[in-house]
Structure 1
Amino acid sequence: MPRPVEDAMQIARIGGSQHTPVLVTGGAGYIGSHAVLALRDAGRPVAVIDNLSTGFRFAVPDGVPFYEGDIADRALLERIFAEQSMGAGRGAIMHFAGSIIVPESVAKPLWYYENNTGKSRGLMEAVVSAGVPHILFSSTAATYGVPDVSPVTEQTPTRPINPYGWSKLMTEQMLADSANAFDFNYCALRYFNVAGADPQARTGQSTAGATHLIKVAVEAALGKRDRVSIFGTDYDTPDGTGVRDYIHVSDLAAAHVLALDALIAEPGRSMTMNCGYGRGYSVLEVLDAVDRVTGGAIERIYGGRRAGDPASLVADSSLLRATVPWQPRYDDLDTTIEHALAWESKLPEVRRSAA
């Protein structure tokens, strides 16, 4: 069932963007599937390509054209562009496909540079060859590494400390260089901590063994995990645990659609913008909120710091707010947890139905 009209009103229609066909890479994954819902709810033509290595076919709504395959498959991309009427100055890419686990990137750096950076280069080559004029790229706050300041602005130096962050920053650089040389523009959105699930529980974080704190905490609240580990209690923060900016995934998806509209409205302009609320919560505050929402008490195991974890990582998203008419609807920690909990409760049934 589509979102109520008022939920989609902030996704503004600018120029001809309402009719621009959009291909979402990684559209069966966590954030990508929410972007697909936001596009469909706003009446946009959308298709998905996903190799289902970490995505789920059930996350793509019925009626959305789905192509199972890899973005490295140039022939498949060319077929999709033809079938979806993209190219020759028409269409847009929302690029979410890639790998996102930081420790895995340290253990498998060449895989991350191939899967995130190398395949993105191939996607750009296909986009340039076909004449698709707009790319919106899923980037990350990991490009900043361990910043010296908080909140973090787009002018904060980018100093990644792991292959994941570097793979994303390299892709940003390729986008910038290619946009200067060829006829397309781009927007790189740097996410902070994405959390929650679709308010109607149509999709959510479904990956087994996920490491996102709110996902882990609601799994523990539902008995799917025995406990939650806390890494570091001696940071220079009010309660000694790390502070992060948690953005609701549906607000993030809305920001993607608005950023795409901005690209279409100003074809000569490219952008890099932070996505967050500008407010941080500590690990203990998040766990307390989960206990409050569920009426339970998650077992907590205290451990030492993890290498490379900053004390605080909070977004300054003033550039995003000044550039597009983004008005978050779910900027409330308890609401984010409630939506994550509802999806986590529904997930076993979804998996059974999809089997």
Structure 2
Amino acid sequence: MTWLVTGGAGYIGAHVVRAFGDVGLRTVVVDDLSSGHAQFVPDDVPLVRGPIGDTALVRQVLAEHQVTGVVHVAGFKYAGVSVERPLHTYEQNVTGTLSVLEAMAAEGVDAIVFSSSAATYGTPHTDLVTEETPTSPESPYGESKLIGEWLLRDQARAVGLRHTSLRYFNVVGSGYPDVCDTSPHNLFPLVLDALVAGRTPRINGVDYDTPDGTCVRDYIHVADLAVSHVAAARRLEAGEPLEPVYNLGSGDGVSVRQIMTAMADVTGIRFEPETGPRRPGDPARIVASGDLAARDLDWQMRHSLEDMVRSAWDARRAAADADAESHDPTA
């Protein structure tokens, strides 16, 4: 039995691939490396370079590797940028998902775990988001992820596709020193890059109705996230029932200022963050309950905030050392 992980050379996808390997499940990766890194994929995992929008390529991979299920992680994941590039976002996330489902149907693969997003909720009017919270996405990215869920739902009605979608918020940290978050838009790499470069990190908005005035968000460790992807895949493989949607949430958020304090403590770089005005559309608090996923998907917060920051910092330094070595003519 082999599982295809689309986007398996990316930050989240690579952790999913390794989590599968940790329990002895084979995987194959399809990734166009537009934001992923070939070196993130273990040497014993086949990496097929190409876009998921190439249905023929996906079909070929499914057939040649005797794939029994798909973990669909590949996508364009930048909510803010999606507002400026809506057509690109829909092409990558909607047309790409359609291509994967077409290939699966053609090759008789009937199980999929979909990497969705809490962006499907938009700005919820509740302190704790559950799977029953109404969806109201506020960006093309959030909309594209919700459409992806609809595609799975409708394909299930049509051909019996077995599926589940995992919605999550801010994924941080690292489970391996050679895999780090290289996104130019995510908070952790932005702060760590600023500290390495001698710049002062910035907080956008310090006057929210929260305990310290800064936004409160759900931050979850990427390795914990990966474990639940594997749990979902194994239940689908065993024919066990799953809910159509699960939130992978902490149940108790962390503020941006708390993140900054933890960054200073872990890195040993003392700083007072710069402050600026709120960004339009940033709600004061978004935190989700993970109770349903805890029941079905072995979901739990195994890592503290310090663990998240320290693992991200260690991976960031390891990446910098590797980059320096690769450019050292004497190495």
**TM beyond 0.5:** yes
Residues 29 and 156 from structure 1, CA distance in 2 versus in 1: closer, same or farther, beyond 3 angstroms? same
Contact 1:128 1:183 (8 Å CA) reproduced: no
3-state secondary structure, aligned to 2:164: strand
Residues 130 and 270 from structure 1, CA distance in 2 versus in 1: closer, same or farther, beyond 3 angstroms? farther
Matches of 1:38 and 1:285 in 2, distance apart? 29
Matches of 2:172 and 2:241 in 1, distance apart? 33
Per the alignment, residue 20 of structure 2 pairs with: 39
The alpha carbon displacement at 1:353 in A equals: 6.4
3-state secondary structure, aligned to 2:29: strand
Contact 1:206 1:347 (8 Å CA) reproduced: no
Amino acid at match of 1:214: F
3-state secondary structure, aligned to 2:61: helix
* Residue of structure 2 aligned with 1:346, choices 306, 311, 318: 318
Per the alignment, residue 102 of structure 2 pairs with: 125
Amino acid at match of 2:255: S
Per the alignment, residue 80 of structure 2 pairs with: 103
Matches of 1:354 and 1:272 in 2, distance apart? 43
Amino acid at match of 1:175: L
Amino acid at match of 2:256: V
Per the alignment, residue 188 of structure 1 pairs with: 165
Matches of 2:5 and 2:190 in 1, distance apart? 27
**Which contiguous aligned blocks of 4+ residues in structure 1 show a shift greater than 6 angstroms?**
none
Per the alignment, residue 112 of structure 2 pairs with: 135
TM-score normalised per structure 1:
0.88
Contact 2:117 2:142 (8 Å CA) reproduced: yes
Contact 1:25 1:49 (8 Å CA) reproduced: yes
Per the alignment, residue 5 of structure 1 pairs with: none
* Residue of structure 2 aligned with 1:173, choices 150, 162, 169: 150
The alpha carbon displacement at 1:95 in A equals: 0.6
Per the alignment, residue 113 of structure 1 pairs with: 90
Per the alignment, residue 10 of structure 1 pairs with: none
TM-score normalised per structure 2:
0.95
Per the alignment, residue 254 of structure 1 pairs with: 227
- Say yes or no: does 1:51 pair with 2:32: yes
Amino acid at match of 1:37: R
Contact 2:203 2:274 (8 Å CA) reproduced: yes
Range 268-277 or range 108-117, more displaced: 268-277
- Say yes or no: does 1:25 pair with 2:1: no
List runs of 5+ in structure 2 lacking aligned partners.
none
Residues 338 and 268 from structure 1, CA distance in 2 versus in 1: closer, same or farther, beyond 3 angstroms? closer
Contact 1:217 1:298 (8 Å CA) reproduced: no
CA offsets, 1:187-217, max 9 Å, x none? Answer: 100011100011x41312134xx22222222
Contact 2:220 2:301 (8 Å CA) reproduced: no
Contact 2:219 2:253 (8 Å CA) reproduced: yes
Matches of 1:144 and 1:232 in 2, distance apart? 21
Per the alignment, residue 63 of structure 1 pairs with: 44
* Residue of structure 2 aligned with 1:240, choices 204, 213, 218: 213
Residues 351 and 93 from structure 1, CA distance in 2 versus in 1: closer, same or farther, beyond 3 angstroms? farther
**Aligned-pair Cα RMSD in Å:** 1.6
Per the alignment, residue 130 of structure 2 pairs with: 153
Residues 217 and 115 from structure 1, CA distance in 2 versus in 1: closer, same or farther, beyond 3 angstroms? same
Per the alignment, residue 197 of structure 2 pairs with: 224
List runs of 5+ in structure 1 lacking aligned partners.
1-19
Amino acid at match of 2:188: I
* Residue of structure 2 aligned with 1:212, choices 170, 173, 186: 186
Contact 1:138 1:190 (8 Å CA) reproduced: yes
Amino acid at match of 2:244: M
3-state secondary structure, aligned to 1:257: helix
Residues 302 and 327 from structure 1, CA distance in 2 versus in 1: closer, same or farther, beyond 3 angstroms? closer
Contact 1:131 1:183 (8 Å CA) reproduced: no
Contact 1:232 1:241 (8 Å CA) reproduced: yes
Amino acid at match of 1:317: G
Matches of 1:194 and 1:22 in 2, distance apart? 22
The alpha carbon displacement at 1:35 in A equals: 0.3
Contact 2:172 2:222 (8 Å CA) reproduced: yes
* Residue of structure 2 aligned with 1:163, choices 129, 140, 143: 140
Per the alignment, residue 271 of structure 1 pairs with: 244
